[in-house]
Chains A and B, each alone.
Chain A
Amino acid sequence: KAGVTQTPRYLIKTRGQQVTLSCSPISGHRSVSWYQQTPGQGLQFLFEYFSETQRNKGNFPGRFSGRQFSNSRSEMNVSTLELGDSALYLCASSFQQGGGEQYFGPGTRLTVT
């Protein structure tokens, strides 16, 4: 079974721009969660989507948004990028909504200059 895939793997953007990251979950998984990892804050939860609906949201500003498609693929968007948004963005899929057994992708490394 193919694992979780994320595209692109690396991205460099300028302050003020916006960015869209993509995540394809494991086949059959309907939940996709997004996390941000930085050296200072560690791994922090952004949001979870299940059956195309956002089910849970972390403590991030409205500039961070996401969506999920009918095939369970998910995208997250960050608008008006700030230097502090530089991070590793990880998505994870699970079979159940709110599942504790989550499978992570390799991440997208975003650098904002």
Chain B
Amino acid sequence: DAKTTQPTSMDCAEGRAANLPCNHSTISGNEYVYWYRQIHSQGPQYIIHGLKNNETNEMASLIITEDRKSSTLILPHATLRDTAVYYCIVRVPEWGYGGSQGNLIFGKGTKLSVKP
């Protein structure tokens, strides 16, 4: 799986958009970008994933650059409950696409602190 680089920590004011960057300059053509978050002492939570087009769901938006070497997760209106560690992971979507299957490789992620 390709490696990712994320800032160690970020702050965001409550109600403002939180923009979390991720660099993945060695991403392969068949690898997707996945985002997870982990709120303290809970299991990680899947947020969103994408290949090359921008994606949006009820939780967040994912913007992937045209060259696919970086992406940004956007939480449009951050709340205190969004305080968590956010992980950016690049990998194939399922078995049969090549690469490491089954396991998600979690780096250190970005600790997002949403402040009142």
Contacts and interface: CB of A to CB of B under 8 A. Distances in A.
A33 interface: yes
B95 A100 contact: no
Interface in B85-103: 89, 91-96, 100-103
B44 interface: yes
In which size bucket is the chain A interface?
A: 20 to 34
A75 interface: no
Contacts of A24: none
B101 to A, nearest CB: 3
Contacts of A50: 95, 102
Interface residues of B, number: 25
A103 B44 CA distance: 8
B43 A48 contact: no
Contacts of B92: 98, 100
A99 B105 contact: no
B103 A101 contact: no
Contacts of A58: 103
A56 B104 contact: no
A96 B43 contact: no
Contacts of A92: 43-44, 104
A47 B103 CA distance: 8
Contact of B103 (A4, A33, A42, A107): A33
A55 B43 contact: no
Interface string A63-101: 000000000000000000000000010101000111111
